[in-house]
Amino acid sequence: MMTTTPPTPSVQLLEVSPEYAGQRIDNFLLARLKGVPKTLIYRILRKGEVRVNKGRIKPEYKLQAGDIVRVPPVRVPERDEPVPVAQGLLQRLEAAIVYEDKALIVLNKPAGIAVHGGSGLNFGVIEAFRQMRPDAKELELVHRLDRDTSGLLMIAKKRSMLRHLHAALRGDGVDKRYMALVRGNWAASIKQVRAPLMKSNLRSGERMVEVNEEGKESVTVFKVLRRFGDFATMIEAKPITGRTHQIRVHTLHAGHCIAGDTKYGDEGFSKEIRDLGGKRLFLHAYMLTVPLPEGGELKLQAPVDEMWAKTVERLLSAE
């Protein structure tokens, strides 16, 4: 563990223990300073108010065991200060758990729930689970899903599991597969999209991603699951890389946007799906295979929600 001064608005000195070696300073602070806005953390980093071994560092600095991190006075909630998450949402998330052991939770995240607070949201999945599992002091998201995407989401209960899964995600040890309902008749010949992606922010502050030769290499493998005439296709998407909005932008690049996608989609197509009862983004992380630290694999599948299932039924009956 690490030693800290009490979480009050005063200077804190945090000593980095070996298990946190290699973690970026920004992620280290985001995990330590629960409840402090992300924008504030990056501001104090940018201004040089955070020091490591008395020196200024950049947000991408990777910590070493024994580093002394100086944190300026910031408001940090008391450890027993509850996160204001509604009981109904807590029960819904508890019911969404598909796997749990001493080190890992996997849930079938409902569409419309953010994975963490921020951008005007007081809480997300991780804040809710910290309230639901108060004895698990090291709960962290292993990866992220967009707010409107449903499906399998991993939460590590132990730092050792988090590091194991991050290493697996950086390699090819994790197999994540999504289902998506896209516009038009997806050609069987489109088995892979390899197109570099770059993030940009609009004047409104909204984050968008576009195909750009100067962007990061991005690869998605696709397979047709079911066709609905020339109107729509249900596809499987397997992201080889893990870029923001990757599947949504790669399907658009292939000429087939996803139903219900307000950022990259087609409003006319989305309205036709809404008229069938499909009032959501039709992107669902339905299959997950991860290696376990002690050997073997964990293989999970998550069913789609009732709205998705009924919309598909209506599509089939309309053929």
DSSP secondary-structure letter at 19? G
146 part of the active site: yes
Element (H, E) at 274: helix 267-275
Beta strands in 218-263 (DSSP E): 219-228, 232-239
Alpha-carbon span 82 to 134, nearest angstrom: 10
Nearest to 70 by CA among 110, 134, 143, 15: 15
| Active-site residue (options: 26, 101, 146, 175) | 146
User: What Rg value do the Cα atoms of the chain yield, rounded?
Assistant: 21
Residue linked to tokens 């950086």: 170
The whole-angstrom separation of Cα 68 and Cα 79 is: 22
Give the burial string for 34-49 (b: 16+ CB within 10 Å, else e).
bbbeeeebeebbeeee
Q: Which two tokens stand for residue 9?
A: 């608005």
**Can you give the three-state secondary structure of 79-112, one letter per residue?**
CCCCCCCCHHHHHHHHHCEEEECCCEEEEEECCC
Q: Which residues are catalytic?
A: 146
